């Protein structure tokens, strides 16, 4: 009992430090989860914008046709659109691999 009377301030200070470290760890964890959700929502927004552009431009439908002649030369817009899709998929893959977004487990 005498030890507590002599060291109460040090004990209280240690409890405060431990509590602040635990609180900081909790805040960082919650922040990381919310950032992952934010990143996923942003990725979904870009995905939606890409496909809305596709739906608004019917001339892009040729990129999914199976019966295109071998001598067909894609337009610059078609090339650009396919490049954007590839970059978007690559970004989503790398973000998932890095743990910046979580996989959709269904």
Using an 8 Å Cβ cutoff, are 49 and 85 in contact? no
Residue 75 lies in a domain: yes
Residue 72 lies in a domain: yes
What would the two tokens of residue 94 be? 């790398």
Residue 104 lies in a domain: no
Q: Range of 30's domain? A: 2-98
pLDDT block averages, 10 residues each, the chain of length 106: 83 94 94 90 95 94 88 93 96 92 67
Residue 106 lies in a domain: no
User: Residue 5: what pLDDT?
Assistant: 81
Give one word for 56, left, alpha or beta, with left for phi > 0 and alpha for psi -120 to 50: alpha
pTM above 0.85, yes or no: no
The structural domain count of the chain equals 1
Residue 6 lies in a domain: yes
User: Residue 105: what pLDDT?
Assistant: 54
Residue 103 lies in a domain: no
User: Residue 104: what pLDDT?
Assistant: 66
């Amino acid at each position: 009992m005498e030890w507590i009377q002599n060291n109460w301030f040090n004990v209280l200070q240690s409890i405060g430090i431990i509590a602040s470290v635990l609180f900081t760890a909790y805040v960082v964890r919650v922040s990381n989860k919310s950032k992952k959700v934010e990143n996923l929502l942003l990725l979904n927004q870009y995905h939606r914008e890409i496909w809305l552009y596709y739906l608004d431009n019917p001339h892009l439908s040729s990129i999914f046709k199976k019966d295109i002649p071998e001598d067909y030369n894609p337009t610059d817009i078609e090339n650009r659109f396919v490049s954007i899709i590839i970059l978007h998929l690559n970004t989503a893959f790398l973000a998932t691999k890095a743990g910046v977004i979580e996989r959709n487990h269904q």
